[in-house]
Amino acid sequence: MRSICRKRPSGCLIRDMQNGSSMVTWVENVDVQEKEKEFHPKLKPFVESGFAFGARRWISTLQQEAERFIYSSGINTSPTDSPISPEGRRSLAMTTKKMVISFCSDTCNSTYHHWTSSNKSRQKNIEVKTNKRRGDPGKPLGLHRTAGCTVELISSQNRVFDYLSDIQNRPQWERMSSNSLVQELARFSTGPDPRNCISVLAFSRHNEILILQECCTDATGSYVIFAPIEKAVFQSMLCGVDQDIQLMPFGFFILPNVSGSILDGTLLTMVFQLTVKNVSSKQAVEVVTQIVKEALQKIMEAVN
């Protein structure tokens, strides 16, 4: 990005000069009246710094989407990619996009999805909150309990992201892959950074259930989001068949921790979901809360 051509009250016009040609991007700025109680103290510096909603964040998002389209359609490829047809790439990319959108929706607070604290322990560094949801579009039928927690880590964003996206580390913090061999059945990059990718994972202890995962990172933030899928569904997607499947995503947001005007470690948010069957709502809250606490404790010990 070479220069800012013009500034206006409602946005900024950015000109990018490359090889004698120019690309112009318009970034819209919107004034929002803040309500102090709506920002958690841990996240307020991140928002006020401009990382959350500033022009840098929007430009980064636009660039990621453009790269994702080019690589997912097979126009560009990476040497580390599995041999997947363009139709298979497109089908997997469409499904993971739905998964990421669903995950972002699940982490939002609203009147319908209100989060309440489920902590009953004295762990001050891990405060888990849960919400109850039923009948969400694209989710399995039944009652779902969602648990989430944000913690401050002293490690850098890159270190935390690399740890969580490395499949060899997965059995250390995830119950499903515990005591299993983790294998990558398929993978393709979604940008020039090979860490940005879509992959499908298999576990030696689970024959018919796979994990669909997308990893994405840049200077403004990272995420690792995944959801269980059936092996037959994966085989269909490899053939380019669009699958309107019900997804129960969980995963991580990894954000720079802004302290004043400097970056100071990482803000890690984990969200886990559980379908409530044959147990009481109270038991479901206890189970999903404990899963989040155990995973975060192991991650904190590993990366710190």
- Please give the residue that has the higher pLDDT: either 24 or 201: 201
pLDDT of residue 98: 93
Q: Can you read off the two tokens belonging to residue 187?
A: 């993978």
Q: Is 155 left (phi over 0), alpha (psi -120 to 50) or beta?
A: beta
CA distances from 87 to 91, 185, 199, 242 (A): 6, 17, 15, 9
**Averaged pLDDT of the chain:** 82
Task: Give me the mean pLDDT over the 147-154 stretch.
Answer: 89
Q: Using pLDDT thresholds of 50, 70 and 90, give the confidence band for residue 262.
A: confident
Task: Give me the mean pLDDT over the 243-254 stretch.
Answer: 89
Tell me: the pLDDT tens digits for 88-106? 999 999 999 999 998 888 7
Task: Give me the mean pLDDT over the 12-29 stretch.
Answer: 54
pLDDT of residue 3: 34
Q: Which CATH number describes the domain made up of 86-303?
A: 3.30.530.20
Task: Give me the mean pLDDT over the 172-179 stretch.
Answer: 89
Tell me: the pLDDT tens digits for 178-201? 888 999 999 999 999 999 999 999
pLDDT of residue 49: 79
In 3-state terms, what secondary structure has residue 146? Answer: strand
Q: Can you read off the two tokens belonging to residue 272?
A: 């886990």
Q: Domain locations in the chain?
A: 3-72, 86-303
Q: Can you read off the two tokens belonging to residue 255?
A: 């954000």
Residues of the chain with pLDDT > 70: what percent? 77
- Please give the residue that has the higher pLDDT: either 210 or 285: 210
Whether the predicted pLDDT of 12 surpasses 60: no
DSSP string over 106-121: HH---SSS--EE---S
Whether the predicted pLDDT of 7 surpasses 60: no
Task: Give me the mean pLDDT over the 151-157 stretch.
Answer: 92
pLDDT of residue 259: 74
Whether the predicted pLDDT of 32 surpasses 70: no
In 3-state terms, what secondary structure has residue 186? Answer: strand
